[in-house]
Amino acid sequence: MPRPRKCRRIEGCPKALFFKPHGIPLRELTEVYMPMDGFEALRLADYHGLGMEEAAARMHVSRHTFGRILGDARRIVARALVEGLALYIANDSGMSCAQLQPDRLAARSKELNMKKIAVTSEGPKMTDRVDPRFGRAGGFVVVDLETMASTYVDNGSSQAMSHGAGIQAAENIVNAGAGVLLTGYVGPKAFSALKAAGVKIGQNLDNMTVAEAVELYKAGKVEFADAPNK
């Protein structure tokens, strides 16, 4: 049986959660994620210049654990700088500042296209079944209602996450530029993130194909949700 994960103390929220290369739209960038404990380790060690022992004590972790957290955080920053990626300080562990994640997505609401809808799907085709899950859906069929052209967004990275799958899936929807989501069930955190980004959500659309869900939406028979249903 694995040892329970010890709580890490985070003394303050970052003033900004998102950093990106200048002049490149967010939808054209790949994002890398740094957990809140990684930000705290960088703040204590590299900003305040604390030694390993003192910084570890401040975070309520062992020196070895602090060193691992700090090393991971430094590698994430280095990758973002070297590869020209967007850096997002993400909270997928239930620590404070969770309310800032919807704010992060809200900044991108102007990029969404209300004529483009995303449907959780078990496969890449319009004839595939609607995946009732949102956060751990197999993927999303994104349909442009003006041309009825469709593309597929794989959601495999969210499926592999132990925490924060719904937030990552919400990122995938926003990155695709979809202003409407059709799905079965959406959890509270993902629902808040989607709403903050300006995405309209249609729920309880399982037990049908993607094409059927799209036709139902086009016929005006999908009601937008005001609260999560799961």
Residue in the structure block whose two tokens are 């204590």 = 44
> Mind listing the domains of the chain with CATH numbers?
18-98 (1.10.10), 109-218 (3.30.420.130)
Q: Give CA–CA dist 194/181, Å, rounded.
A: 9
User: In 84-168, at which residue ranges do the beta strands (DSSP E only) sit?
Assistant: 86-90, 113-121, 139-144, 150-154
With 90 as the cut, is the pLDDT of residue 203 above it?
yes
* pLDDT at position 103: 47
Angle at 173 between CA 92 and CA 186, to 5 degrees: 65
| Per-residue pLDDT tens digits for 126-157 | 999 999 999 889 999 999 999 999 999 988 76
The average pLDDT across 76-102 equals 70
* pLDDT at position 148: 94
**Neighbour-count burial of 30, counting CB atoms closer than 10 A to its CB (0-12 exposed, 13-18 middle, 19+ buried):** exposed
